């Protein structure tokens, strides 16, 4: 609402109050007084609806469209091989947490998380999990409820500093920005070749898959070996950002084919370079915003390629 609109509302309110008082002072018939009071109340009610659910001109409570949402994803055969999720019940509004998974509530209790149970047909479970990571903006409940979405790996917890998250959301809502934010990779790798070599060295994927991705990217006209690598452990975005929707859908169109590496970090960075988009920075350092939560033998605490990974890899 702009200043002119605010002044008009205040002026109308003042006029109606004076009108009501004048009726009383002139001892006008009671039905006329009631009519003016009803008119005043109707205006207050209508202005309340314009300021959001449960609010009025003099009251600014958060509406259902103002949630700061966090999303994670975990897919596996059963709960025993899932990364243990942190309990988020201590977080209060406007924080909201969504979990994309294939396990229903009866199969896995997740305190503080609202489940989004999916039934995709992709061959790799890790592909299932990447849908919620990059495309949660396609779910109507999330886009209606969330002002901003922050994907987080299940091994980290966000700070409860609401002003920090409000600042991040405001940055992503700016019309002249890309509508999403990430950290540059902390190891400052020199480009995609270094990233691919690190994946092979740490056995995060098979040599065959990595080499297929590398070859495909090198043959693309946008290829440059020195492109920036971004950290995909956490990713913030405005669900209404057309730029983010475009680059995430473009990423998904290739990744979901399951033709090469299941590691999303190289393809995501490659895709940003291809679209000539640079993410915003988070408002503070990683360790000021996030803390390490539960760790397990899966996820970033020890995942390496196994014989069943082509299908069952899940983080």
User: Over the stretch 164-203, which tens digit does the pLDDT of each residue have?
Assistant: 999 999 999 998 899 999 999 988 778 999 999 999 999 9
Pairwise pLDDT comparison (233 vs 1), residue with the higher score: 233
- What is the 3-state secondary structure of the chain? CCHHHHHHHHHHHHHHHHHHHHHHHCCCCHHHHHHHHHHHHHHHHHHHHHCCCCCECCECCCCCCCEEEEEEEECCCCHHHCCCCCCCCCCCCCEEEEEEECCCCCCCCCCCCEEEECCCCCCCHHHHHHHHHHHHHHCHHHHHHEEEEEEECCCEEECCCHHHHHHHHHHHHCCCCCCEEEEECCCCCCCHHHHHHHHHHCCCCCHHHHHHHHHHHHCCCCCCCCCCCEEEEEEEECCCCHHHHHHHHHHHHHHCCCCCCCCHHHHHHHHHHHCCCCCECCCCCHHHHEEECCCCCCHHHCCCCCCCHHHHCCC
Q: What is the pLDDT of residues 5-59, one digit of tens each?
A: 444 444 544 444 444 444 444 443 444 434 444 443 443 344 333 333 333 222 3
Q: Domain of 39?
A: 3-50
Residues 41 and 85 in one domain: no
Residues 166 and 43 in one domain: no
Q: Is residue 56 part of a domain?
A: no
Residues 36 and 128 in one domain: no
Residues 19 and 159 in one domain: no
In the chain, the percentage of residues whose pLDDT exceeds 70 is 72
Q: Is residue 247 part of a domain?
A: yes
- pTM for this one? 0.76
Range scoring the smallest mean pLDDT among 38-47, 67-76, 106-115? 38-47
Q: Is the pLDDT of residue 315 over 50?
A: no
Q: Is the pLDDT of residue 260 over 70?
A: yes
Residues 74 and 46 in one domain: no
Average pLDDT value for residue range 77-96: 88
Q: Give me the CATH number covering residue 298.
A: 3.90.550.10
Q: Is residue 299 part of a domain?
A: yes
Q: Is the pLDDT of residue 204 over 80?
A: yes
Residues 134 and 193 in one domain: yes
Average pLDDT value for residue range 261-273: 97
User: Mean of the per-residue pLDDT values for the chain?
Assistant: 80
């Amino acid at each position: 609402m702009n200043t002119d609109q605010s002044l008009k509302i205040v002026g109308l309110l003042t006029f109606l109050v004076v009108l009501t008082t004048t009726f009383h002072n002139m001892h006008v018939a009671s039905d006329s007084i009631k009519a003016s009071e009803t008119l005043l109340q109707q205006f207050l009610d209508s202005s309340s609806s314009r300021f959001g659910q449960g609010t009025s001109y003099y009251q600014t409570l958060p509406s259902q469209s103002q949630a700061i949402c966090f999303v994670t994803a975990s897919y596996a055969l059963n709960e025993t091989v899932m990364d243990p999720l942190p309990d988020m019940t201590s977080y209060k509004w406007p924080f909201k947490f969504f979990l994309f998974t294939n396990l229903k509530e009866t199969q896995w209790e997740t305190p503080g998380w609202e489940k989004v149970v999916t039934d995709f047909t992709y061959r790799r479970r890790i592909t299932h999990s990447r849908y919620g990571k990059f495309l949660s903006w396609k779910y109507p409940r999330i886009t209606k409820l969330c002002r901003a979405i922050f994907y987080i790996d299940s091994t980290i917890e966000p700070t409860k500093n609401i002003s920090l998250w409000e600042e991040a959301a405001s940055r992503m809502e700016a019309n002249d920005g890309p509508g999403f934010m990430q950290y540059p990779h902390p190891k400052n790798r020199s480009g995609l070749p270094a990233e691919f070599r690190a994946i092979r060295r740490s056995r995060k994927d098979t040599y065959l898959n990595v080499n297929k991705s590398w070859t495909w990217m090198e043959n693309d006209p946008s290829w440059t070996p020195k492109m920036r690598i971004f950290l995909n452990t956490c990713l913030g975005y405005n669900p209404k950002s057309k730029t983010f929707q475009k680059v995430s859908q473009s990423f998904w169109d290739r990744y979901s084919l399951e033709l090469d590496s299941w590691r999303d970090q190289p393809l995501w960075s490659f895709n940003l370079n291809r679209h000539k988009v640079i993410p915003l920075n988070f408002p503070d350092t990683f360790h000021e915003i996030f803390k390490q939560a539960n760790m397990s033998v899966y996820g970033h605490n020890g995942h390496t390629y196994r014989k069943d990974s082509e299908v069952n890899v899940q983080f």
